[in-house]
Structure 1
Amino acid sequence: MLDNQNTSVNRTKPDRWKADIALSVDMYNDWFMKFAPSAYRETRIQTTKDVESTLAETKNLADVGADVLRRKPDVLPTLRMSTCPPIAVDRLIGLAGVSGNLVKCMESGTIPARMNSTALAADLDKIGNIIEKMADPDIFVWLGRAAPATDVEIHRAATIVADRLCGAVANPIIRNAQEKRQLAAIGAWLEARGYKLLPPKIKFDAMPPGTFSFRLNVPVKLEGDGNTINIPVDTVVMPKTSKAGELPLLIEAKSAGDFTNVNKRRKEEAVKMNQLRATYGASVRFILFLCGYFDTGYLGYEAAEGIDWVWEHRIDELAGFGL
């Protein structure tokens, strides 16, 4: 087995970093220009359908009552984007004078299980009243008139609200699409070398040699209290040459569309590595699969933590970790 500390593919080669950063930025930008608009558009199409469903549930915003909100709490983000101006979560809590826990649960699609039924009904009515009072008349042009909304008007309004919703989560949409593409690239590389994909329910330390899986939970012990939690790992690979008792290679796919964000989040990988080492020892192997804007500050930080990486534009260097 290759030792994580003694084997280096990129970690100890800073003379290559700047050239690789430029190539990685070019690769990310090329992908973004070609595929990010379609990923955003596909999400917007589905979101538009979801907004149309919400309008149907609320009788085109004529009935945003407690019954609807109790039955369909997940419509709240759509309703917040249907007002003029759109209402942030904390602003809605303050305007309506309702339980913050209720609103935050509804944002996740649930209703607090232990909330008093009378208080719940009252708060839901308050939320509905705010939405109805602040519904954007320039979007929902049928409000206040006798004639009902037409199909064209409903679809147009749903598209506008969907744009607002997608605009608020544009970065996650792009990040999710990029992660999906990165994992597909890793999977294709492994399968071309005879590795077999296993379902994600398998235990990471029970994988036979020559197999891999995506998004596995790896249990680690927390420092201090000794409690165990699961940390998700994007790709787990058991090399063909592995012997009984050896741990698989853990790969975290990372992409970034700007330099600022990665330096805010660079400690996340270091925390994972420290938790893994504390649980499984210094020989545990955890690497990054990078595409995009990762500057020398980020790379230097990860290298100092003993974390190595493979650039997507040189994916064949995965072989340097015994694959």
Structure 2
Amino acid sequence: MPVNLDKPQNWKADIAASVDMYNTWFMRFAPKAFRDTRVETTKSVEATLAATDNMRDIKPAILRRHPEVLSTLRMSTCPPLAVDRLIGLSGVSPNLVKTMEDDKRLPPRMSAALADEQLSKIGDIIEQLADPDIFVWLKRTEGPEPPEIHRAATIIADRLCGSVANPIIRNAQEKRQLEAIKRWLEARGYAQAPVGTLFDQMTAGTFSFRMNVPVKLEGLAQTVNIPVDAVIKPKGSPKGELPIFIEAKSAGDFTNTNKRRKEEAVKMSQLRSNYQTPTQQVRFNLFLCGYFDSGYLGYEAAEGIDWVWEHRIDDLAQFGI
């Protein structure tokens, strides 16, 4: 039986309540989540400064051993350098820079000699453009004082965190949403499934988070895993019945939700094509908090995807949980 997808008369009030709930959470907890991440990032930046003689000597050997510092170095220049701008200025292989950024390693097929040559070019660009207003010691002969190093690291950390602010907030919100589901389930006698339990081996009355579900993509032979935020096997479920799949979704504005609304429909389609049978229904639902407008809700409803609002979490019981 549908819970919310067939009740458009309630959507306007629920949207307003959900926006209010998200905004309240954001004002109370998002700054702390951002600050906590910035503290850890500051420590990482300080380690990078120590390894590069406080931006005075960015050797290829350092970049080879620690390719993960490249994003920190890009944010240390004036102006900060985007990936493509660094590639253009240094004239190095795009594959080198993007592999360092995305995979935190050097391209495995690149020779050591060529890597060192190109890493040297990257180091030269960073040294030339190192921000003198942040690294004030670069203008003088004596080295930096500890407070100067910490101040510079904090500024660079703020730049790094600012460039990924939305993922930081989204991850903190998702963690909070899953904790809310966990509390609700445990209050009703559910237990978390042992680590390593497969979705089709769960026993009734158990749940799991961030579980991988294998699917075969249409037209392709290989199997891929699709992650599902919450997987719940209701009490009294007969053996062999599929658990309920739930995606925790949050959003701080209406624009991004409409850009991403097809993601859930694609996941639902993959699950259905692999596991739905005439006697076995795939139950895939959303757990929503934030800015989800009628356009988003109508799209999901048309795809047969139902949802529960976090401000009315007790609606989970209507899924038979």
Same fold, TM exceeding 0.5? Answer: yes
1:290 equivalent in structure 2:
288
Distance in 2 between residues matched to 1:133 and 1:225, nearest whole Å? 49
Whole-angstrom distance in 2 between the partners of 1:177 and 1:256: 12
Match of 1:302 among 286, 300, 303: 300
Aligned to 1:321: 319
Question: What SS does structure 2 have at the residue aligned with 1:143?
Answer: helix
The residue correspondences of 1:85-234 to structure 2 (distance < 5 A) are 85-107=79-101, 108-234=103-229
Q: How far apart are the structure 2 equivalents of 1:274 and 1:290?
A: 20
- Aligned CA RMSD, in angstroms, stands at 0.9
- Paired residue secondary structure (1:235): strand
Partner in structure 2 of residue 72 of structure 1: 66
State the Cα distance separating 1:92 from its structure 2 match.
0.5
Q: In 2, distance between residues paired with 1:48 and 1:186?
A: 33
CA distance in 1 between partners of 2:143 and 2:310 (Å):
54
Contact 1:204 1:236 in 2 (8 A): yes
TM (norm. structure 2) is: 0.97
Residue in structure 1 matched with residue 76 of structure 2 by the alignment: 82
What secondary structure does 1:266 align onto? Answer: helix
Q: Is the 8 A contact 1:201 1:216 kept in 2?
A: no
Matched, 1:11 2:9: no
Aligned partner letter, 1:28: Y
Q: Quote the Cα distance in structure 2 between the aligned partners of 1:300 and 1:205.
A: 31
Question: Displacement of 1:113 after TM fit?
Answer: 1.2
1:4 aligned partner = none
Which amino acid in structure 2 is aligned with residue 320 of structure 1? Q
Deviation at 1:231, TM superposition (A): 0.2
The structural deviation recorded for 1:145 is: 1.1
Task: Structure 1: give runs of 5+ residues left out of the alignment.
Answer: 1-6
Provide the aligned length of Structure 1 versus Structure 2: 317
CA distance in 2, matches of 1:199, 1:177: 24
Could you tell me how far apart the structure 1 residues matched to 2:182 and 2:245 are? 14
Matches of 1:14 and 1:227 in 2, distance apart? 40
Contact 1:200 1:215 in 2 (8 A): no
Specify every segment of 5 or more residues in structure 2 that has no aligned partner in the other structure, as ranges.
none
Equivalent residue letter for 1:308 = D
